[in-house]
Amino acid sequence: MTICLITGANSGIGRAAAVDLAAKGWTVYASMRSLDKGAKLAAAADKVGVTVHPVVAEMTDRASIDAAVGQILDAEGRIDVLINNAGVGGNGVAEETPIDTFVEVMDVNLHGPLRCSQAVLPAMREQGSGCIINVTSVAGRIAAIGQSPYVASKWALEGVSEGMAQELAPHGIRVAIVEPGVVRTAIMAKNIDAPHETGAYDDAYGKLFRFYQAGLANPGLPSEVADVFFEAATTDQPKLRWTCGWGGPELTGGRPQVSDEDWVELGAMADTAAYEARFLDLFGLDITP
């Protein structure tokens, strides 16, 4: 029996994954900031006849995370898979975004997974096995325009995850990075604001929101990401990076083939139609809404 802790499970990818993994026979503990937020998760689990165990864990509070992990270890004696899924968005160009916003986004998107990993790793090392799945984003591989705080946090988590993969391999612990593209989740509806102090970056924000508008016309589904979690944790041919969702393969696969000069030139293109045509040429991805 696989014992799994997934964070940020009250909505979106986390909720779908918690239910799907329980349906695959795992014992799933699903973290959220308050049990009051778990009604939709409970309803989704009941609908398919599975049990998901809610636990309280605040990603910015190590004591809260330690308590949740302790609760699971007391009940099950082990944790086999940690899925660091909880995260927040963060729109804004570098000039206009307050440093406090960078700090807040980093605290959830980078420090949260680190806190959770540090909490479960002593038990995983003792049992000589385990899998940690860190959910980043395509924005962890490309510097998505107009999303500096989010990009910074996801690039940082990518780097930490690469290091962890090497550090933990001698202990029999697998690390996997899952990089979703556009997926239909609640975070998309919440992620519609951006600082707009100078008016100098209308073009950047226009590109950002048109990109997501295009993706949301045919987004990936949270259940598809859940399937990737399962495969990443169970495959007998493990790999470090996995991608899914609208634009995922094209963006993560295409960016290494695009020169830095072409990338910067793309950002300088003011004509929307020309920009989207060039993006299609470079990445093979149609971002026209």
Q: Which residue has the higher pLDDT, 197 or 284?
A: 284
Is pLDDT above 70 for 240?
Answer: yes
Positive/negative CA dihedral, 179, 182, 186, 190: positive
Q: Rounded distance, CA 207 to CA 149, Å?
A: 17
Can you tell me the mean pLDDT for 158-173? 98
Is pLDDT above 80 for 170?
Answer: yes
Between the alpha carbon of residue 288 and those of residues 92, 220, 273, the distances in Å are 21, 17, 8
**Mean pLDDT for the chain?**
95
Are the beta carbons of 91 and 193 closer than 8 angstroms? yes
Is pLDDT above 60 for 185?
Answer: yes
Can you tell me the mean pLDDT for 165-183? 98
Can you tell me the mean pLDDT for 176-187? 88
Between the alpha carbon of residue 84 and those of residues 13, 30, 229, the distances in Å are 11, 11, 11
Is pLDDT above 70 for 188?
Answer: no
| DSSP character at residue 10 | T
Consecutive H or E run containing 96 = none
How many CB atoms within 10 Å of residue 265?
12
Percent of all residues in the chain with a pLDDT value above 90, rounded to a whole number: 92
- In the set 150, 201, 212, 275, the catalytic residue is 150
Is pLDDT above 80 for 53?
Answer: yes
Q: What is the pLDDT of residue 190?
A: 55
pLDDT in tens, 189-205: 555 567 777 889 999 99
Give the domains, in start order, of the chain with CATH numbers. Answer: 3-191+220-250 (3.40.50.720)
Is pLDDT above 60 for 160?
Answer: yes
Phi, psi of 104 (to 5 degrees): -65, -45
Is 201 marked active-site? no
Q: Which residues of 101-119 are buried (b: 16+ CB within 10 A; e: fewer)?
A: bbebbbebbbbbbbbbbeb
**Strand pairing partners for 121?**
none
pLDDT in tens, 54-73: 999 999 999 999 999 999 99
Angle, helices 99-106/148-168, rounded to nearest 10 degrees: 30
Q: What is the pLDDT of residue 250?
A: 97
End-to-end CA distance of the chain: 45
Can you tell me the mean pLDDT for 11-26? 96
Q: Rounded distance, CA 132 to CA 121, Å?
A: 9
Place of tokens 């082990």: 78
pTM of the prediction? 0.95
Q: What is the pLDDT of residue 193?
A: 67
| DSSP character at residue 57 | -
pLDDT in tens, 68-115: 999 999 999 999 999 999 999 999 999 999 999 999 999 999 999 999
Q: What is the pLDDT of residue 186?
A: 62
Q: What is the pLDDT of residue 189?
A: 52
Can you tell me the mean pLDDT for 224-250? 97
Q: Which residue has the higher pLDDT, 272 or 199?
A: 272
Are the beta carbons of 66 and 118 closer than 8 angstroms? no
